[in-house]
Amino acid sequence: MFFNISGTLKGLANKFGLAVVVTNQVVDFIGPHDKMNGVRLGNLESLDTSGRRVSPALGLAWAHCINSRVFLARHEQSIEVNIRNAPSTSICSQTHRTFHLVFAPHLAYASAEFVINKEGIVGVSQ
């Protein structure tokens, strides 16, 4: 079924000049920390988000159907904030997100950290 779906999507993309984006859920990965039982997920040995190790839900069968894989992770970061008229600084939590290019046959691994705030998507210097 995976191969039929991916073949159809690739055919439509070629026919109409489209980019097809398919999302995949993740599940908690339970097992040893060493290389996901010998299975590598693109250029990463494990995927971490919100303090959890995760793995793509559709597994290796789907992994062989796609051309490129990206992973969006999130983590909370504590930052000091100066509040006007307050006697001291306060500690606040800010959600940082990281875009990982996990696999692409024509590109090397890359990642970029960003936050989403009222101005929009803003890159974070690392």
The tens digit of pLDDT for each residue in 98-114 reads 998 888 889 998 899 99
% of the chain with per-residue pLDDT over 70: 75
Alpha helices in the chain (DSSP H): 2-16, 35-38, 59-63
pLDDT of 77 higher than 80 = no
Domain ranges, ordered by start, for the chain: 2-123
Mean pLDDT of 32-45: 54
Cα distance between residue 74 and residue 32, in whole Å: 22
